[in-house]
Chain A
Amino acid sequence: DAGVTQSPTHLIKTRGQQVTLRCSPKSGHDTVSWYQQALGQGPQFIFQYYEEEERQRGNFPDRFSGHQFPNYSSELNVNALLLGDSALYLCASSLARQGNSPLHFGNGTRLTVT
């Protein structure tokens, strides 16, 4: 039973560039959420996707956008990268119809902006 997989595992970008991160949810899950974790901090919620639509959003600027595909996989896009966007980006999946379905996390993509 495959868990949540994310790609790439590491990425280095230059300030001002754009980046796309990818996530495949755990088998059987239909909802994907994205989190940003700065060094030494707890993860912060970016947004959640279900049925290919953004359903909830945290306090992140419009430079952060996403997409969910019919197979439930998801992408996180960040435009006009800033040095402060350097972080571990985590994807989590869950099952929408079970309100208390635990979120299962991938091991993240480490993004470094120089």
Chain B
Amino acid sequence: DAKTTQPPSMDCAEGRAANLPCNHSTISGNEYVYWYRQIHSQGPQYIIHGLKNNETNEMASLIITEDRKSSTLILPHATLRDTAVYYCIVRPALYNQGGKLIFGQGTELSVKP
């Protein structure tokens, strides 16, 4: 079973920030939080990951609460091309054991004009 809980769907207006929440209350100390997205008929695309500090890259920002039990992925200026299913995944940082990702149902984000 997935170790994360996400809302099944969300809407966002084009040009506005999209804030996608994720609950991971049973996360362990050595587990990272990863975000992927999957556009219809394509493979999952890596977005960002973090351990306990907030992270930002060219695609998004990741905000992790101090107790690490939840996080939020922020797409600062959503475009129609950001419409996709977004998956929040926790994964241990172990040598040669990182091939297994447990995907939940994800959040289907619809960006509307």
A99 touching B93 in the complex, CB below 8 Å, given contacts A42-B106, A90-B44:
yes
Of the candidates A35, A96, A104, which one forms a contact with B95 in the assembled complex, judged by CB atoms under 8 Å apart? Answer: A96
Asked if B29 lies at the interface with its beta carbon under 8 angstroms from chain A, I say no
- In contact, B45 and A99 (Cβ under 8 angstroms): no
Number of A-B contacts (CB under 8 A): 79
Given A105-B44, A107-B43, verify A58-B100 contact (CB < 8 Å): yes
Q: How far is the CA of A94 from the CA of B46 in the complex (A)?
A: 12
Query: How far apart are B39's CB and chain A's nearest CB, in angstroms?
Result: 10
CB interface residues, A 31-46, toward B, < 8 Å: 31-33, 35, 41-45
- Do A50 and B96 form a contact, CB below 8 Å, given A44-B103, A107-B42? yes
A78 within 8 A of partner (CB)? no
**Chain B: interface residue count, which band?**
20 to 34
Digitize B40-59: 1 where CB-to-A-CB distance is under 8 Å, 0 elsewhere: 01111110010100000000
**Which residues of the other chain, B, contact A45 by a CB distance below 8 angstroms?**
99-102
Chain B residue at smallest Cβ distance from A40: B105
Considering the chains assembled together, what is the distance between the CA atoms of A100 and B92 in angstroms?
8
Q: Among B32, B43, B95, B99, which residue has the most Cβ atoms of chain A within 10 A?
A: B99
Q: How large is the interface on A (under 10, 10 to 19, 20 to 34, 35 or more residues)?
A: 20 to 34
A33, B87: Cβ atoms under 8 Å?
Answer: no
Chain B residues closer than 8 Å to A4, beta-carbon distance: 43
Instruction: Tell me which of A31, A43, A96 contacts B103 (CB under 8 A).
Output: A43
Q: Across the interface, do A103 and B101 meet the contact criterion of CB distance under 8 Å?
A: yes
Closest CB in chain B relative to A25 CB, distance in Å: 12
Contact check, A102 vs B95: say whether CB atoms are below 8 A apart. no
Whole-angstrom CA separation of A32 from B95 in the bound complex: 14
Flag A29-67 by CB within 8 Å of B: 1 or 0 each: 001110100000111110110100001101000000000
B-to-A contact residues, CB < 8 Å: 2, 32, 34, 36, 41-46, 49, 51, 87, 91-106
